Amino acid sequence: MTKERNHVVHDGNCARVCPICGSANSRMVRTIEGSYLGIDNDHTIIEHISICNDCGFIFAAPTLAEDEFNSYYNDTLPTFEAHESYSVPKRLKVLSDYIDDTKLIAEIGGNAQGEFKEALMSRCRKYYSFDVNQTANNNSDEEDIPVVDVLCCYFVMEHIVNINEFIDKWSEHLKDDGIFVVEVPDLNVYYRETNPLCLTEHVNHFTPESLSLLMLKHGYETVGFSRFDCSRTFGFVSVFRKTGARSENPAADRLKLAAVLDGFRLTDGLAAVDEQMLKLNEFAERVDSQMKQPGRKVLLWCANDMMREFLDAYEKRFGTFSGLIIDEDKRKADYYRSYKAHTSADAENAKMLEGITDIYIFSDIRLRVESVCRTIKERKLQKADICYISQRWDIIKTDTD
Ligand SMILES: [Zn+2]
């Protein structure tokens, strides 16, 4: 006999003060409905998004009671794991400064996270995980978690109604001077990543500044921040040290925090530049290994700054580039003269392409590559490899048709 499914509409009416400044003075700006499939029931959660009139924090108010959220999570979380995706290397990179085989680490909300959990277990003295959800696997009981050196919490805090109690409770499990690593969705990128906003179980909408202010209230200083190193594209990671020093002048602290976070933003930009250079060099290596194969010829499309950058990197390591560079714009015929590369301004010159080129590399997917590909196919050069490169030197697609 099948149990009857119900459609449960959760529209909370629990008043909620601003978790950061404690003000009861907030204005509701929008109501969003989200529907979710549970194991036993279908759920609709109605979220009322409000802005604190005193500090600007954005949070759900009024909202559901914690009990109602818990019964919803117990029905829906077991179905959630299938679409989990995050970068394990990024999480480990951030943690690597703080862990070694003498350290104890506890993950809050670490519901049976395979590869990440294994990696932590081999890098620390002991790894504990705790999830409030009763259906979570491999859980430690809260009272079994001792005082640890490092706490980490990935994409959990945006779900917690009683966030101040949550931080207080877990602070008791962290040693003085211990490290608390937190990842949450970033309000700053909601304009392009709407999921965290549309997921109506989210009751806190953080910016790097508001999370730092919240943590400062509980005696934590911000010692790290990155979007680049966050394990998901729509969030940020912040690293806090438990100092015990709480904010006495939130307005002044907010200004100080903004400056600290700006410094970390520059670090992020520089890390992205470094990564780009690494990829460019890997790409140059790849092209060179293709060119070294007997009879293989490489063609670069087109004559732009990106390909100039590529030639600089290539010629520094491998000497003169012996492939072809093609551009439709005849004015660019001599664009690469100083690089001693072969340049043609006429892609439609069939003799130029036919039979002499095996690998085509397009430096920008926005170019009119379709017409070029058609030309290649019409010339019956199907055996040629085609490769698209993004502006950050990612190989977007290779195509051996
Ligand atoms: Zn407030």
CATH of residue 178's domain is 3.40.50.150
Q: State the distance from the centre of ligand 1 to the C-alpha of 243, rounded, in angstroms.
A: 23
Both tokens assigned to 362: 């397009």
Residue 194 has a CB neighbour count (10 Å cut-off) of 11
Following DSSP, what letter does each residue of 209-227 receive, concatenated?
HHHHHHHHHTTEEEEEEES
Contact 310, 363 (CB under 8 A): yes
Say if residue 82's pLDDT is above 50: no
Say if residue 126's pLDDT is above 90: yes
pLDDT in tens, 177-230: 999 999 999 999 999 989 899 999 999 999 999 999 999 999 999 999 999 999
Mean per-residue pLDDT, 110-132: 84
pLDDT in tens, 110-120: 665 688 889 99
Q: What domain range is 363 assigned to?
A: 278-399
Q: Are residues 258 and 291 in the same domain?
A: no
Q: Are residues 94 and 233 in the same domain?
A: yes
Q: State the distance from the centre of ligand 1 to the C-alpha of 211, rounded, in angstroms.
A: 12
pLDDT in tens, 269-308: 999 999 999 999 998 998 888 888 887 778 777 777 888 8
Lowest-confidence pick of 141-145, 151-155, 264-268: 141-145
Q: Answer whether the bond into residue 62 is a cis peptide, omega within 30°.
A: yes
Q: Are residues 296 and 232 in the same domain?
A: no
Q: State the distance from the centre of ligand 1 to the C-alpha of 17, rounded, in angstroms.
A: 8
pLDDT for 381: 53
Q: Given 241, 256, 273, which residue is the final one in a domain?
A: 273
* End-to-end CA, the chain: 53
Residues with CB under 5 A from ligand 1 (ion): 18, 20-21, 23, 52, 54-55, 57
Q: State the distance from the centre of ligand 1 to the C-alpha of 25, rounded, in angstroms.
A: 8
pLDDT for 352: 53
- The dihedral through the CA atoms of 202, 204, 207, 208 has a sign that is negative
Q: Given 29, 49, 78, which residue is the final one in a domain?
A: 78
Q: How many domains does the chain have?
A: 3
pLDDT for 354: 53
2 found inside a domain: no
Contact 219, 171 (CB under 8 A): yes
60, containing H or E segment: strand 58-60
1 found inside a domain: no
Contact 126, 79 (CB under 8 A): no
- pTM, rounded to two decimals: 0.82
Following DSSP, what letter does each residue of 116-163 receive, concatenated?
HHHHHHHHSSEEEEE-SSTT-SSPPPGGG---EEEEEEES-GGG-TTH
CA distance 107 to 117: 9
Phi first, then psi, for residue 176 (nearest 5°) are -60, 140
pLDDT in tens, 333-355: 777 666 655 555 555 554 455 55
CA distance 323 to 308: 13
pLDDT for 138: 52
* Residue 132 amino acid letter: V
39 found inside a domain: yes
Helix, strand, coil share (%) of the chain residues, nearest 5? 35, 25, 40
Q: State the distance from the centre of ligand 1 to the C-alpha of 207, rounded, in angstroms.
A: 13
Say if residue 83's pLDDT is above 60: no
Contact 214, 257 (CB under 8 A): no
Over pLDDT 70: what percentage of the chain? 79
- The dihedral through the CA atoms of 77, 180, 167, 12 has a sign that is negative
Both tokens assigned to 281: 């060099």
157 found inside a domain: yes
Say if residue 1's pLDDT is above 50: yes
| SS3 label, residue 111 | coil
